[in-house]
């Protein structure tokens, strides 16, 4: 029987970017239903006491860059270790993605393109013009989605996703929950694949 995956993602997260192509491939092979749930990771960090990247000890920051480099090279994905537009406010991008989902779109490709904009293309996902161009390139109506993103419903869903993440013990991104089993981190994708039977 096909599984349902709740995927809690942060659009500025390099680890979510690294995970995205592999996860989408395995979900497609498994015939899984994916509920993409953009959420406010920084709010979760504040609740649980996790420091933002720039506030972490230098040893941890250095190791993070080393790990990103290793995974970038291993996965053969383009990734700027210190992109021009990071950290970046993801809220408008997240609301736009949610607006697309509310309109019935499969937002996997859109989220992947937004992540690539940050980590591979040196683009500012807090800029409405950038987001419009990204959505248009995915065959969506970027202007209409941005208009809807500024309305209440996408913001309400973003807040619900964040509260739900907190209630379900999500503490980082990417996080997948399948059958109430939580998997955190792109380096846990082998376990996600096993759970999905692929």
pLDDT tens, 39-93? 999 999 999 999 999 899 999 999 999 999 999 999 999 999 999 999 999 999 9
CATH code where residue 118 lies: 3.40.30.10
Long-range contacts of 184-190 (CB under 8 A, 24+ apart): 185/15, 186/15, 186/16, 186/18, 186/19, 186/22, 186/71, 187/71, 189/19, 189/22, 189/23, 189/26
Contact indicator for 167, 44 with CB cutoff of 8 Å: no
20 three-class SS: helix
Secondary structure element (H or E) that encloses residue 194, with its range: helix 189-196
Q: Please state, rounded to an integer, the average pLDDT across all residues of the chain.
A: 98
How many domains are there within the chain?
1
The arithmetic mean of pLDDT across residues 162-186, rounded, is: 99
What is the reported pTM? 0.96
* Encoded tokens for 34: 């994916």
- Which domain does 86 fall in, by range? 4-196
Q: Please, which residues have CB within 8 angstroms of residue 136's CB and are 6 or more apart in sequence?
A: 142
């Amino acid at each position: 029987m096909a599984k349902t995956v709740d995927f809690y993602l942060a659009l500025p997260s390099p680890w979510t970017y690294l995970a995205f192509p592999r996860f989408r491939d395995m979900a497609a092979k498994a015939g899984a239903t994916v509920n993409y749930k953009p959420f406010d990771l920084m709010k979760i960090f504040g609740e649980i006491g996790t420091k933002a990247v720039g506030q972490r000890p230098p040893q941890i920051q250095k190791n993070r860059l080393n790990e990103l480099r290793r995974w970038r090279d291993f996965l053969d994905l383009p990734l700027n270790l210190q992109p021009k537009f990071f950290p970046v406010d993801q809220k408008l991008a997240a609301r736009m993605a949610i607006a697309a989902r509310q309109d019935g779109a499969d937002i996997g490709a859109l989220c992947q393109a937004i992540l690539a904009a940050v980590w591979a293309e040196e683009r500012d996902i807090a800029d409405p013009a950038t987001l419009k161009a990204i959505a248009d390139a995915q065959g969506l109506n970027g202007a209409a989605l941005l208009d809807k993103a500024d309305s209440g419903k996408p913001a309400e869903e973003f807040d619900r996703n964040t509260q739900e993440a907190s209630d379900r013990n999500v503490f980082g991104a990417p996080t997948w929950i399948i059958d109430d089993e939580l998997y955190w981190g792109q380096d846990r994708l082998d376990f996600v694949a096993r759970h999905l039977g692929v």
